[in-house]
Chain A
């Protein structure tokens, strides 16, 4: 079928149904907004024109049915199309795959079974094939260089910059390139899309949309697909359409929250007044439901109810601007990550006293979810009231079996026993069975809790946990306890302070300076036997992407733990693992942070999250979006938000060209571990400051390419490595693989409050790398009170450029004023499993420089190393230990390395991610699940919080944690 300027009233949605091999895809109709189609071609006429199907099998080939373009055109099909074998295209090869040819998906897949050709589920009936892998299976079959072009397409009716090319694509490559070019009115072709191994090595079945940016007054256009390369693998296309369906653009990308077990709230912001939300179950062919929405101050929000459990839903948004619809890509969310508690109906006959206590308790609680402990029961009404008004799980305890039985029956009849309220025996009031510091709030249904003051205080969580009493107490336990009394109407609150020695983990490597060490004491523990399980549970193995793709690290501040998964994030109560809030965010994903930087940081009040071109400031307690900060005006339309760090009232951000962040996670190459020349660095071209308090920008800086992994903020100074001579090609993103990046580096220090340059120094310089040979495997920057450490991890090559299977980390130490104090190096212990990109750890006096230990003041190696280390995860430190995968026993699980003795201990079957998901923070080891997906062992696949173990039979400690 071919049509020129054919307005249609429905938009044809091409959806992959299911994910299994060999499943047929079908076209399905969804009532999406009206659009005009200027051209379409699905090659299916080759199957319907008489005499074309079954296709002829050439006598000397493999018998696969196929047809070439000239033959097709003799059958009066594909009129006006052209297929060109470009100069150099192999003159032999397997004839049916020489250039672009046409076949059924089944026939093409049958050419070489087991190589995943059958996964082009979107291809139907007849498809266009450029398969250099099969072409290469006979002599003369290399290289492959062929172009398939449309006829001239009449676009005289289109307004400028209104057209989009949409087609279904199956792509696999090792080192080949695919391009789409467009020529308007016979002018020189313009490249619109480039596929290569770096950007996308594998996309077996996807619908691709390419904005065509048609110029004003253009009358005709021709589109060409060119594939160049040798042998591995292919490009297949089908269902081509040129329409005026412009993609929706959001000022704040969509996000999904779960307010209740059966509902989801979808929110976004856009410059439109009206929108239509289409949604439906993922297993359905069409999006059956739609919701028309009006903007409120540029924001859209829709709450979907009656949703199924453990169900994937798809949704799509049409923004209506000036009567013109702009349609988003297809998004999805999964209700198995809806961990909202079941709602409870509030009792109608609550006494005023209970009502007052209930309201006051929820007002003073540090969080909106977690564990409330009611010590001493009357009839359970307080527990019911609290459950009805909050998302807390409530533990209701008493010693009297008669009271317990009655309360259980009452709550069982009300349907809230167990899943919302646990009714349990108090046991020994001097020493209950509950773990230390788990309760966000403790109160009583009686006059006072029937346990000792010491025990109450032991159970109270640090850093905000509240004990609600009728009046303040002055017992010795309270006198010794670290906390403060607060008034709460007629009641009194004892608020517990943060643990001594407990630190936050606010940035990727702990501090804004990337030290991988915050000073966390972790109760002076130096062996795994010193840690006990504080909580265990969700999120589990299904939450994340996979262990491999070097994801942003979890963060923790003020008793909250934040963790990213597969296009989703969750905030947990650090002391008890309760889910505080969560979002499904399709645009969230950023990977390969070892060669880029993390997309987030936190403080006590906010989560700062870079999503596309904005920085979301989320309320850390509730998840509500407070601000969506913009990039500087110059980069606003062309860049994404790259780096983010915060300190005091300051936010420092950076701009990278759009789509520079790594998002690919499938296949071994998405481990981002390969040693050698293919390493790329994501670079920013502008750095800027914001005030947190006003959400106003205060300065901007941009003189060259700033290497994102080297950005480090400490004490009002921001340090980084920069290249001021290398210019990126206009059409490229900010991933830089050009060796010249490393040959003209400048180390820069800015005043983070003004953006003014405090100092700059040339270097550091690579040892082996030249314009033509060598490679830098990784680069890092670490800022501390001592100044700045610039680290290059470089492979060793000989004069002809051959890699010598070794390399070294090299560090240059700059004082705060820019003077170089020392340089040092540490040889790689391996060139795989992340060992060659290990991030250094900097403590008060040591540089843990994999695998060696150096004196921080002199840079001198101390003649000691740490390990044995398995690699994969990177390394972090506490006062007394380093944490990493310990090589050996139990398939190398997570463990501790004692800084004093060098002894190692293991958490058997606990696997960290391949970068960093174990953080020492809040006086605990916090390990939100990150290792799942590895089929290399019986890993626990759970999130877990570990606390320093109290010695057996020891008396209840004071909550001062001394």
Chain B
């Protein structure tokens, strides 16, 4: 199993790099057929340590239901956002910490993994049948899927531990308690640690990272381990933070979302603070191929959802309005705004060039594969051609759950919904 790491920035100028990528995307769209592309794992939340949501695999449409797995209704860590800011007459406030609305999956080695907030367990399903291959029980909700690396599955739990399991069999290899103290408190019909692990573990440069954090008035912990042995490389005690959501990385910077406060930046080698993203909060973050960061939503002051493009130092470059999800692949940005799914690239003069746009409902999730952009909606999944935006396929998901999770591996599409369902589709 490989674990994609960020490409070095190489200090290619932004505009040239984008132009090259844009050209490459046209080339790949023209020459590569789905069947010629390799089968890939989806070994961590949103595919890789950049949380790119992009895979080089292709899907052969139409897809058909292969199996579905019911995991029990997710018990989310937090309730929804305030309904409005009545004083400011601001409605439609965004959730800034909706990091566990479904059972996101990871896929590697013929197994589909997820963590459950319903039964406090880490599950592995057979990729072909959806049957449970193994289950490992933690002591509190597991809110994000395991990261699979070198035969090991790493997952955090609200019980305050990071678990390292043997990926094939689910046997415990070792576990690491994030905070020095094990103190459990009641929370939403569970006993959770005062330092729950609510960040999808990250493996990059053969180092494993996770956090243990809950409230700003108790110290939080940012921890780096040897993924093979569990030996600690550093454990930074950090005040006034609330780490939650998936950790991600640029070449040399860890990005740690905080939910209702700005994502924070840390040196990947030492765990020392290097700053923060200069806006409100949110748990949607991805690092682009150019080592830039897209994150959001900004805050609840904006009248609509917004994602921000910032450089590695946290300075803002651009704003995506009325959108909650975006993917950048081969220099093309795919995002949805005001009823339209757009594919945008930059030309040689750094000017946005629309490759296409099509009418589409607003998605809860958006990923891309080699030949398609996939959108998760309420009870539906739509796939649009990356080449021209034409609708390639759509399907209805049984039940009335909202589709929040999409993943692709071995030419299979995995769909996770808000009712705890995991649905597999293949040609």
Contacts and interface: CB of A to CB of B under 8 A. Distances in A.
Contact of B190 (A393, A546, A670): A393
B148 interface: no
Given A417-B121, A548-B86, A938-B261, A422 B81 contact: no
B183 A433 contact: yes
B186 A535 contact: yes
Interface in B78-93: 78-91, 93
Interface in B92-141: 93, 96, 116-121, 135, 137, 139-141
A419 B79 contact: no
| Nearest 5 A/B pairs, CB to CB | A540-B79, A938-B261, A418-B119, A546-B86, A932-B82
A321 to B, nearest CB: 36
A537 B400 contact: no
A434 B191 contact: yes
13 contacts: A412-B121, A415-B72, A417-B120, A418-B120, A419-B72, A435-B186, A535-B187, A540-B78, A540-B79, A933-B93, A938-B261, A939-B260, A940-B216
Given A395-B191, A909-B242, A435 B121 contact: no
Chain A interface, >50% SS class: loop
B186 A666 contact: no
A667 B87 contact: yes
A549 interface: yes
Interface stretch (A423-431, A759-767, A822-830, A873-881): A423-431
B262 A536 contact: no
Contacts of B301: 935
B185 interface: yes
B261 A667 contact: no
Given A336-B80, A908-B217, A938-B281, A548 B87 contact: yes
A69 to B, nearest CB: 34
Contacts of A540: 78-80
Interface residues of A, number: 68
Given A415-B72, A536-B214, A542-B83, A941 B186 contact: no
A810 interface: no
A909 B79 contact: no
B191 A935 contact: no
B132 to A, nearest CB: 10
A419 B75 contact: yes
A75 interface: no
**Of B119, B186, B191, most A-chain CB atoms within 10 Å:** B186
B205 to A, nearest CB: 30
A541 B280 contact: no
B182 interface: yes
A939 B260 CA distance: 7
A341 B72 CA distance: 13
A577 interface: yes
A547 B139 CA distance: 35
Nearest to B301: A935
B260 A941 contact: yes
A941 B89 CA distance: 19
A577 B217 CA distance: 19
B73 interface: yes
Q: How large is the interface on B (under 10, 10 to 19, 20 to 34, 35 or more residues)?
A: 35 or more
B86 A933 contact: yes
Interface of B: 72-73, 75, 78-91, 93, 96, 116-121, 135, 137, 139-141, 159, 181-191, 194, 214-218, 240, 242, 258-262, 280-281, 299-301, 400, 419
Interface in A656-684: 665-668, 670-671
Contact of B186 (A309, A424, A438, A671): A438
A753 to B, nearest CB: 42
Interface string A416-459: 01111011110100000111001000000000000000000000
Contact of B120 (A422, A535, A538, A546): A422
Given A548-B86, A577-B186, A941-B78, 5 more contacts: A427-B182, A541-B80, A666-B86, A938-B258, A938-B259
Given A422-B140, A933-B87, A435 B185 contact: yes
B121 A418 contact: yes
B90 A935 contact: yes
A542 B119 contact: no
A533 B118 contact: no
Interface string A797-834: 00000000000000000000000000000000000000
**Of B135, B137, B242, most A-chain CB atoms within 10 Å:** B137
Interface in A882-914: 890, 907-910
Contact of A533 (B78, B79, B121, B194): B194
B82 A666 contact: no
Interface string A364-399: 000000010000000000000000000001010000
A425 B191 CA distance: 12
A910 B261 CA distance: 12
A536 B191 CA distance: 10
A666 B89 contact: yes
Interface in A538-554: 538-549
Interface string A400-426: 000000001000100101111011110
B82 A417 contact: no
A546 B121 contact: no
Interface string A337-355: 0000100000000000000
Nearest to B215: A533
A793 interface: no
Contacts of A534: 185-186
Contacts of B187: 535-537, 577
A528 B299 CA distance: 27
A934 interface: yes
B319 to A, nearest CB: 17
Contacts of B91: 19
**Of A408, A415, A433, A566, most B-chain CB atoms within 10 Å:** A433
B318 to A, nearest CB: 22
Contacts of B190: 393, 418, 422
Contacts of B86: 545-546, 548-549, 665-667, 670, 933
Given A418-B118, A938-B261, A541 B82 contact: yes
A941 B82 contact: yes
Interface string A191-226: 000000000000000000000000000000000000
A631 to B, nearest CB: 31
